Structure 1
Amino acid sequence: MDNTLYVGLSRQMVLKREMDIIANNIANADTNGFKVENLMTKEVDGAPAFTQGGPRPVKFVGEDGVARDFSQGGMRRTDATYDVAIDGQGFFKVSTANGDRFTRDGHFRTDSNGVITTQNGDPVADDGGGQITIDPNKSGPITISEDGIVSQGTERVGKIGVYKFDSQSALEKTGDNLYQNAANQTPTAADTAKVRQGMLESSNVNSITQITRMIEVNRAYEQVTQMISAESDLSRTSVSRLGKLSS
């Protein structure tokens, strides 16, 4: 198989991966706090491949990671006591069996012990890294201030921690709308962020943009397929003619 076909196949592989990412974006358009993703590409040297009178080595297409847009999503009112959204930069920290994780999804609840947790039961960290517990034997409304302070009636019971990173590229997806601090950066308090009780942050996915991009990627894939088919036909024709000349 000649270099043209290899280049075309490398492009098709990248386009397939990009299509998977776009489909995932669309699937998570209604996921709380989800951040839209885009595939990054790069040129890859195909040494020792070369073309006569052309570049050495031939340049192929390769993946260069996934870029994540952490811009603010829209706010959706739920009026649920333990639903909270971050207005500004920052992440909630939760304690999982695999270590600390970070999320923008503030759809919280309390477990049987009164601990504020995620929907999966992972405790939400306070500003000191501990748990926040609501006493079921005490009366009074549960309020959460813009600073994240959780009060039961007139008594303060904790403060939901909101953390930020110098570089958000340190965050790596681990599933369940959670991120891990893959670069071991030290998170700091997101002092300028506001916590909004009774609200959830929506995904920042623009479905129309993603569907348009999906159509573009599909067309690009078809064009590469046509190019590969035409190149393959040309090669077969050339071999056939050379065979006739030599006979």
Structure 2
Amino acid sequence: MDNALYVGLSNQMVLKRQMDIVANNIANSDTTGFKFESLMTREVPGAPAFTLGGPRPVKFVGSDGVARDFGQGGLRRTDAALDVGIEGQGFLKVTTKNGDRFTRDGHLRTDANGLLTTQAGDPVADDGGGTITIDPQKPGEITITPDGVVSQGKERIGKLGVYNFPSLSALEKTGDNYYQNASNQAPVVTTDAKLRQGMLETSNVNPILQITKLIEVSRAYEQVTQMMSTESDLSRTSVARLGKAN
């Protein structure tokens, strides 16, 4: 019976982690460029249990990492000149105090010196890895073409780089809607993605599906808890009967 309790406990731990991930998906359903995640699970073999019928295999439940769906989110119109929605695979490269980061969040702004940055104030890279500066003293409308060319009036001032990786498994989430390159893959500028000025990419989370998933996981957790309680009661009853027999 102890094996059943240990297996149940391993299942509870995985379900708790799964609930946290689904709840985080729901909480970020309105976060620009957020990509929903799923917990992957696997069987973990344990030492065989010895019963009257001989040894029987025991398998625990374990987590096997988090899968992230980088599917395209919808594009929402904002009409803000420095908002860019990425259509297709790719990321903006951002320079932070902790190194290069990558994001799908194109809600950009300029700092006091006209440097193009994220809302957190981190400079956004051009297609050569440099920065883009918009002169606040110069007149002229800011335009960003689908291939990333940034112009002020009729003057070209830079080109936003959209970077991609041979495999998106290279990316690891670091918070603040940023990813870091956790591999030896080199990011390359891609021409497949398009930038849509005055738009932002929405999260690709489907709230209804995620709420349904949260209910399913919660019910599974309750069922495992009930099973463990039943097993515990049976164990106590068996010990009590053995005590009376002696």
Q: TM-score range by the shorter chain?
A: over 0.9
**Aligned partner letter, 2:11:** R
Structure 1: gaps of 5 or more residues: none
Distance 1:49 1:113 in 2: 67
State the number of aligned residues. 244
Tell me how large the CA RMSD over aligned residues is. 1.0
Distance 2:226 2:175 in 1: 37
Structure 1 residues 2 and 120, CA gap change in structure 2 (3 angstroms): same
Higher strand share: 2
Structure 2 equivalent of residue 197 of structure 1: 197
**Aligned partner letter, 2:221:** Y
Distance 1:51 1:106 in 2: 59
- Matched residue of 1:63: which SS? strand
Residues 3 and 49 in structure 1, CA contact (< 8 A), matched pair in contact too: no
Structure 1 equivalent of residue 184 of structure 2: 184
Residues 84 and 107 in structure 1, CA contact (< 8 A), matched pair in contact too: yes
Q: Per-residue CA shift, 1:87-140, capped at 9, x if unaligned?
A: 000000000000000000000000001010000000000000000000122211
Residues 146 and 195 in structure 1, CA contact (< 8 A), matched pair in contact too: yes
Distance 1:39 1:51 in 2: 32
1:149-164 pair list within 5 angstroms:
149-164=149-164
Residues 74 and 204 in structure 1, CA contact (< 8 A), matched pair in contact too: yes
Deviating beyond 4 angstroms after TM superposition, the runs of 4 or more aligned structure 1 residues are none
**Aligned partner letter, 2:244:** K
Structure 2 equivalent of residue 206 of structure 1: 206
Between the two proteins, what is the percent identity of the paired residues? 73
Structure 1 equivalent of residue 130 of structure 2: 130
Residues 76 and 199 in structure 2, CA contact (< 8 A), matched pair in contact too: yes
Distance 1:133 1:8 in 2: 57
Query: Is 1:242–2:242 an aligned residue pair?
Result: yes
TM-score norm. by structure 1 comes to 0.96
1:110-121 pair list within 5 angstroms:
110-121=110-121
Distance 2:36 2:55 in 1: 39
